[in-house]
Structure 1
Amino acid sequence: MSYLKIENMEISFNTPKGRFVAVKDVNLDIAKGEIVSIIGHSGCGKSTILNAISGMLYPAKGTVTLAGKQIKGPGPDRGIVFQNYSLLPWLTVYENIFQAVDAALVLTSKAEKKELVEKYLKMVNLWEHREKFPKQISGGMKQRTAIARAFAINPDVLLLDEPFGALDALTKGSLHIELLKMWNLTQRSKTIVMVTHDIEEAVFLSDRIVVMNNGPAATIREIEEVNLPRPRNKKDIVNMEEYKIIRERLLSLLMDKVEIDEKDFFKEKAA
């Protein structure tokens, strides 16, 4: 039985030029504890799908259900990590996490909330930096704070909207490991849905990868299974034949659009 289910979903917007269909006929079943990445070119509706799962967008057609209940708005059962960190600049690292925990876990005692904040700050190696403000820490540390905050409120589903896109390769790789460690510590019970442009990131982290075709009116083109053993070590898996096959397959799917665009460009120039 699917845990997170998107069925015949269409999301559209009214614009001055008429109705714009962002995504249509989207069908996706995600199991509890699964990590699924959504990839595709800009404008293909990746973040639109994520926003529908979060409850910030409501489908014009179809449904999104979580544990058998239709999603009709945001809720504490879904945590979100954005690319731009979304930290409050006037609060310290500790306070940014505590405020989220305090708002989401209203029935939890203050002492337990403090324990949670401490636990996750230590988990992402930020305990020594807890009194610093966002402007005093690096981009990687800000994203560690955002991830710790998302896990600390204990959501059933974690939604990641290109959370590592602005980071350098070394910091990004380190945060991949931190994310998987935290996921493993929940006995892999948290369901993670991530939007990314990074094929290597998607293959390393995911159980399945959803490839979108191009918008407008985008839909799912293919879903690739990632049958690589866990726990994963980047140095090991990049040399595995299965890794190379998946990576080349995804590159081929995404490069189709580039080739078509180039042909159209030269046709226009010739005309």
Structure 2
Amino acid sequence: MYLEINNLEISFATPKGKFVAVRNVDLQVKKGEIVSIIGHSGCGKSTIMNAVAGMLTPTKGTVTINGVPVKGPGPDRGIVFQNYSLLPWLTVYQNIFQAVDAAVKNKTREEKKEIVEKYIKMVNLSAHREKLPQQISGGMKQRVAIARAFAINPDMLLMDEPFGALDALTKGDMQLELLKLWNLDNRSKTIILVTHDIEEAIFLSDRIVVMTDGPAATIREIEELHLPRPRNKKAIISMPEYKLIRERLLSLLMDKVEVDEADFYKGVPVEA
């Protein structure tokens, strides 16, 4: 198994005592899989991703990649955040080149330039390569971030709400861009995606991990998807499996909302 998370617990010391973010998390991910993690805010989705990225140390349990324990960040894992994380004083080209220059050690400068040009072209930003981040749209910024992540050629791509700040049309375009890059890379990259968007998770994923609510959150269920690839949004939304999995995920996530609403209305006087 490529990625293995075994009995993971991550906790933090607070003025009020120990806070357990996630507990008893077990997850195995195969090479080349796209796995989404969904759940309500505060359920530990990003905590798990940060543990895989090597930015958080487990309190208990282990995270291993190819059998090697994760001890910190590494070039085998690329990260895409919701806020783009582009350097504002560098152009589109320079933002990608800087990452490639730092992470790719076995290439000449000319070869690195070719890599940057390749991915700029793949995300359709050739006409904007000399622009600064403040001169391009949010969708373009996210294309730069994704191109940068793929250009350093990591084995795994970790994506934390990467399209959450985008409008619906741009988000749909970016989902297609991601799958295009993944397919052009022969589906060799493993992708872990944190998202609140059920439709996004279904469209992109091979499996969907549903978290319980925090604190001390854990995996509630893992849903397998057998929708054919390559995927066409218009085609899959009419498929019976798509409808069943969507209803299943909504049911799992709406349980808390129904309980919260019931608690809210307790004691509220009913008008005659």
User: Aligned partner of 2:91: which letter?
Assistant: T
| Aligned equivalent of 1:79 | 78
Q: 2-side partners of 1:268 and 1:131: how far apart?
A: 61
Q: 1-side partners of 2:16 and 2:105: how far apart?
A: 45
Gaps (5+ residues) in structure 2? none
| Aligned equivalent of 1:190 | 189
| Aligned equivalent of 1:166 | 165
Is 1:223 paired with 2:202? no
Say which SS state the counterpart of residue 75 (structure 1) adopts.
coil
Shift of 1:269: 4.3
User: Aligned partner of 1:40: which letter?
Assistant: G
CA RMSD of aligned residues (A): 0.7
| Aligned equivalent of 2:54 | 55
| Aligned equivalent of 2:16 | 17
User: Aligned partner of 2:19: which letter?
Assistant: F
Q: 1-side partners of 2:263 and 2:5: how far apart?
A: 34
User: Aligned partner of 1:209: which letter?
Assistant: I
- CA deviations on 1:157-197 (whole Å, 9 max, x unpaired) are 00000000000111111111110010011111100000000
Q: 1-side partners of 2:262 and 2:57: how far apart?
A: 37
Say which SS state the counterpart of residue 246 (structure 1) adopts.
helix
| Aligned equivalent of 1:262 | 261
| Aligned equivalent of 2:153 | 154
Q: 2-side partners of 1:115 and 1:43: how far apart?
A: 42
Is 1:135 paired with 2:139? no
Shift of 1:267: 2.3
Q: 2-side partners of 1:156 and 1:91: how far apart?
A: 26
Say which SS state the counterpart of residue 228 (structure 2) adopts.
coil
| Aligned equivalent of 1:251 | 250
- CA deviations on 1:171-224 (whole Å, 9 max, x unpaired) are 111111110010011111100000000000000000000000000000000000
Say which SS state the counterpart of residue 73 (structure 1) adopts.
coil
- CA deviations on 1:215-236 (whole Å, 9 max, x unpaired) are 0000000000011000000000
Distance 1:101 1:268, change over 3 A: farther
Q: 2-side partners of 1:267 and 1:217: how far apart?
A: 26
Say which SS state the counterpart of residue 266 (structure 2) adopts.
helix
Shift of 1:107: 2.3
Shift of 1:268: 5.5
- CA deviations on 1:247-269 (whole Å, 9 max, x unpaired) are 00000000001001111112254
User: Aligned partner of 2:145: which letter?
Assistant: A
User: Aligned partner of 1:67: which letter?
Assistant: N
Distance 1:18 1:176, change over 3 A: same
| Aligned equivalent of 1:207 | 206
User: Aligned partner of 2:188: which letter?
Assistant: S
Say which SS state the counterpart of residue 113 (structure 1) adopts.
helix
User: Aligned partner of 1:138: which letter?
Assistant: S
User: Aligned partner of 1:128: which letter?
Assistant: A
Q: 1-side partners of 2:71 and 2:16: how far apart?
A: 28
User: Aligned partner of 1:37: which letter?
Assistant: S
Say which SS state the counterpart of residue 141 (structure 2) adopts.
helix
User: Aligned partner of 2:165: which letter?
Assistant: A
Say which SS state the counterpart of residue 193 (structure 2) adopts.
strand
- CA deviations on 1:51-101 (whole Å, 9 max, x unpaired) are 000000010000000011000100000000000000000000000000000
- Matches for 1:28-107 after TM superposition, within 5 Å: 28-107=27-106
User: Aligned partner of 1:121: which letter?
Assistant: I
Gaps (5+ residues) in structure 1? none
Q: 2-side partners of 1:116 and 1:98: how far apart?
A: 8
User: Aligned partner of 1:115: which letter?
Assistant: E
User: Aligned partner of 1:265: which letter?
Assistant: F
| Aligned equivalent of 2:115 | 116
How many residues align structurally?
269
